[in-house]
């Protein structure tokens, strides 16, 4: 899955070239030239995107990790290789924030085993006991209502990260209506064998960590975000600690 949005790799060179020509044209002293060299070179994150929009890393805040690294011995097919380093910053237009905070969440499980739906958008991403909502066995979903159409750049979510687990048949969709009948788009699907009946997906299984899972939404327009799962490597149940949707209201 791509983790960047339209980064213009040519822009960095352009800025350097601009700085070099500046240094020549103003015939500055060696000292000033050195000062200019010492100036931080703008990173791709600060470069203007196509269409003149400034791209910056998403303002992601991560919870404390509860375990080190990624376990190698999980017997799960089609499992993503561990990255061994932090996730690369995800770039989106400046001003894009988590628009899911305190928004209404409804679920296929109307009587969760543990917790309640408000905990999914309450801003608590920690893995401590009691921070997760526990939904019943089999395929379950939670649907976040953003309250209005938004331009969505990424969906970031934590099922559970107290111990390493893989959640099965993870599917992330966006739509214009709460029933998911209008303009449904799938952003992520790792249900290879179509066990959940939403269509077979090509994404990989992954181990849950404190980084959560970030799914690229490519600036799509939608009001509703839905996340499915179908049990996990430790038990048949489904859990959600937090769902964040990075976007901005449609102008």
Residues near Ca ion, by CB under 5 A: 119, 122, 124, 169, 191, 193, 195, 242
Q: How far is the CB of 119 from Ca ion (least distance, A)?
A: 5
Any idea which residue has 């017997």 for tokens? 75
Which residue number, 56 or 237, has a Cβ lying nearer to Ca ion? 237
Which residue number, 169 or 208, has a Cβ lying nearer to Ca ion? 169
Does residue 234 contact residue 163 with C-beta atoms inside 8 Å?
yes
CA distances from 19 to 10, 12, 32, 36, 211 (A): 15, 11, 12, 8, 37
- Residues of the chain by 3-state class (helix, strand, coil), percent to 5: 15, 30, 55
Q: How far is the CB of 135 from Ca ion (least distance, A)?
A: 14
Which residue number, 8 or 193, has a Cβ lying nearer to Ca ion? 193
Q: How far is the CB of 43 from Ca ion (least distance, A)?
A: 31
| R_g (Cα) of the chain, nearest Å | 21
Q: How far is the CB of 242 from Ca ion (least distance, A)?
A: 4
Q: How far is the CB of 146 from Ca ion (least distance, A)?
A: 17
Which residue number, 119 or 172, has a Cβ lying nearer to Ca ion? 119
Q: What's the CA gap between 101 and 118, in Å, rounded? A: 10
The residues facing 156 across adjacent strands are 214, 244
């Amino acid at each position: 899955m791509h983790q960047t949005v339209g980064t213009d790799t040519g822009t960095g060179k352009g800025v350097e070239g601009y700085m070099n020509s500046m240094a020549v044209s103003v015939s500055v002293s060696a000292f000033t030239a050195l000062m200019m060299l010492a100036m931080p070179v703008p990173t791709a994150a600060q470069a203007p995107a196509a269409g003149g929009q400034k791209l910056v890393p998403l303002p992601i805040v991560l919870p404390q990790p509860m375990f080190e690294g990624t376990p190698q011995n999980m017997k799960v097919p089609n499992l993503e290789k561990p990255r061994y380093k932090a996730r690369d910053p995800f770039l989106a237009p400046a001003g894009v924030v988590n628009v899911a905070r305190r928004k209404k969440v409804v679920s296929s499980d109307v009587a969760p085993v543990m917790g309640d739906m408000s905990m999914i958008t309450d801003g608590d991403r920690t893995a401590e006991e009691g921070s997760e909502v526990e939904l019943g066995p089999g395929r379950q979903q939670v649907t976040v209502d953003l309250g209005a159409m938004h331009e969505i750049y990424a969906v970031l979510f934590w099922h559970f990260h107290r111990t390493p687990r893989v959640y099965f048949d993870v599917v992330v969709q966006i739509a214009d209506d709460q029933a998911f009948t209008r303009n449904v788009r799938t952003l992520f699907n790792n249900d290879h064998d179509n066990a959940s009946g939403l269509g077979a997906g090509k994404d990989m299984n992954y181990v849950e960590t404190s980084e959560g899972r970030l799914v690229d939404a490519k600036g799509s327009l939608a009001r509703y975000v839905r996340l499915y799962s179908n049990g996990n490597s430790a038990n048949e149940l489904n859990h959600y600690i937090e769902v964040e949707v990075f976007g901005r209201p449609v102008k």
